[in-house]
């Protein structure tokens, strides 16, 4: 057998094995994707169903007794429009500002000529392991910074986190130091090097961390419950929807609501409607950042 035919035979075997592995991979990924989609379809189908049918037959993928009563109750029961505006503004501004600060911090901590970078890195890491607790945190925000009933009390704590800084630092670490040196040789300053040379190479990192920041702001309700009282008209979206569900549950259990029949106020369908309203818009963010999760950061950046 000639060498050429042997190579073709081995290549054919490799192609068959590769096709089998890929086939199993596609099957596994497809099953996993379907398993992830089914719960969301279940939520949508149940949210448009009648409460009495849901309590009797359980959750369903397809609406039974189609109705939008749960959505009408959520929309009319709170300041949903203002909450959407507050959440969208916080998400957009917080993600943009947070990305800029976190990327600068991660870049500075990786500069070899940055003094005390190891000590600062340890300080940032230390804060991720230990915290003073809720009471000192609340007193600091309300008594020291005077941010009670101020949107900054919700906005600032999520602006950056130790874990995201460490993640960005590890991303920046993969950028060759020669790129920074080439910018210095050409006479560029630190900010010019950062904006013109470093940031274009950080697209996967910016997309990943930006998604984490956006999700944090979009799902924020805890700080809102701590620092924004009833005097603030518009709360964050998640807190507003959480408040609507609690009000309906309290109304069902209160003595004053005994004249209301159990069928008049939905509970399970209301939970599903709030889940759709709160998670639906943020889902559209994933297709725009997914392509940056795969691929190298510095492919083709250094030549020669």
Q: What is the pLDDT of residues 189-241, one digit of tens each?
A: 888 888 888 888 888 888 888 888 988 999 888 899 889 887 888 888 888 88
**pLDDT tens digit string along 60-97?**
888 888 888 888 877 776 667 788 889 999 999 999 99
The pLDDT value recorded for residue 172 is 85
Q: How far is the C-alpha of 41 from the C-alpha of 46, rounded, in Å?
A: 8
pLDDT digits (tens, 9 = 90+) for 150-194: 999 999 998 888 888 988 888 888 887 778 778 888 777 888 888
At 98 the pLDDT is 93
**What is the average pLDDT value for the chain, to the nearest integer?**
79
Q: Determine the pLDDT at residue 299.
A: 40
Q: Which residues of 23-43 are buried (b: 16+ CB within 10 A; e: fewer)?
A: eeeeeeeeeeeeeeeeeeebb
Where do the structural domains in the chain lie, given as residue ranges?
A: 3-47, 69-292
Q: Which of the pair, 120 or 270, is modelled with greater confidence? A: 120
Angle at 121 between CA 293 and CA 130, to 5 degrees: 95
- CATH, domain range 69-292: 1.10.3720.10
Q: What is the DSSP string of 146-190?
A: --TT-THHHHGGGS--HHHHHHHHHHHHTS-HHHHHHHHHTT--H
Could you tell me the pLDDT band of residue 302, with boundaries at 50, 70 and 90?
very low
Contacts of 160 (CB under 8 A, 6+ apart): 98, 101, 102, 105
Q: Give the sign of the dihedral formed by CA 282, CA 287, CA 292, CA 293.
A: positive
């Amino acid at each position: 057998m000639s060498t050429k035919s042997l190579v073709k035979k081995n290549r054919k075997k490799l192609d068959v094995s590769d096709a089998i592995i890929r086939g199993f991979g596609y099957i596994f990924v497809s099953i996993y994707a379907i398993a992830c989609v089914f719960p969301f379809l279940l939520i949508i189908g149940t949210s448009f169903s009648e409460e009495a049918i849901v309590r009797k037959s359980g959750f369903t993928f397809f609406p039974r007794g189609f109705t939008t009563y749960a959505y009408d109750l959520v929309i009319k029961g709170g300041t949903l429009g203002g909450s959407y505006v507050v959440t969208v503004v916080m998400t957009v501004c917080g993600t943009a500002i947070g990305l800029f600060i976190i990327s600068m911090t991660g870049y500075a901590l990786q500069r070899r000529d940055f003094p005390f970078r190891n000590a600062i890195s340890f300080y940032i890491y230390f804060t991720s392991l230990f915290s003073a607790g809720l009471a000192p945190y609340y007193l600091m925000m309300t008594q020291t910074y005077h941010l009670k009933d101020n949107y900054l009390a919700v906005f600032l704590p999520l602006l950056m986190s130790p874990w995201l800084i460490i993640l960005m630092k590890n991303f920046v670490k993969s950028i060759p130091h020669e790129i920074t040196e080439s910018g210095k040789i050409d006479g560029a300053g630190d900010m010019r090097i950062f904006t013109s040379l470093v940031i274009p190479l950080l697209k996967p990192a910016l997309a990943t961390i930006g998604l984490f920041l956006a999700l944090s702001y979009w799902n924020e309700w805890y700080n809102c419950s701590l620092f924004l009282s009833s005097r603030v008209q518009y709360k964050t979206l998640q807190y507003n929807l959480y408040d609507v569900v609690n009000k309906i549950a309290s109304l069902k259990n209160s003595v004053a609501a005994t004249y209301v029949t159990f069928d008049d106020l939905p509970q399970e369908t209301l939970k599903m409607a709030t889940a759709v309203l709160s998670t639906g818009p943020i889902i559209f963010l994933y297709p725009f950042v997914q392509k940056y999760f795969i691929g190298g950061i510095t492919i083709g950046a250094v030549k020669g």
